[in-house]
């Protein structure tokens, strides 16, 4: 019976991992869209970016790049988990 419990728990864990990953990707997409809209608006108005806005844009861009790299690693772990579950 313990083997069946373990097998039943694995798909839920994988499903939870995928749901959390989906939430993380959705949040990253929202942040990216916000930054792009802010930059496009600043450039469209012809004023460009002041020093404070440019510093913020650099910070946001770096955060987005770092977060995207983290999500790539997270996806690799989820795929490994899925492969391990399929092999059990």
How confident is the model at residue 76, as a pLDDT? 95
The pTM of the full predicted model, rounded to 2 decimals, is 0.73
What dotted CATH number matches 2-87? 1.20.5
Please state, in angstroms and rounded to a whole number, the distance separating the CA atoms of residues 85 and 88.
Answer: 5
**Consecutive 10-residue averages of pLDDT for the chain (88 residues):** 51 84 95 89 81 87 95 94 84
Tokens for 49, please give them.
Answer: 């970016």
Tokens for 74, please give them.
Answer: 């997270």
Sign of the Cα torsion 57, 58, 61, 63 reads negative
Domain ranges of the chain: 2-87
How confident is the model at residue 72, as a pLDDT? 96
Tokens for 88, please give them.
Answer: 């059990």
């Amino acid at each position: 019976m313990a083997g069946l419990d373990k097998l039943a728990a694995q798909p839920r864990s994988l499903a939870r991992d995928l749901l959390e990953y989906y939430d993380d990707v959705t949040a990253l997409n929202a942040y990216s869209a916000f930054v792009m809209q802010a930059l496009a608006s600043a450039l469209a108005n012809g004023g460009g970016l002041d020093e404070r806005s440019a510093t913020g844009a650099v910070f946001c861009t770096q955060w987005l790049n770092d977060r995207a790299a983290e999500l790539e690693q997270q996806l690799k772990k989820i795929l490994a988990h899925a492969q391990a579950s399929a092999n059990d």
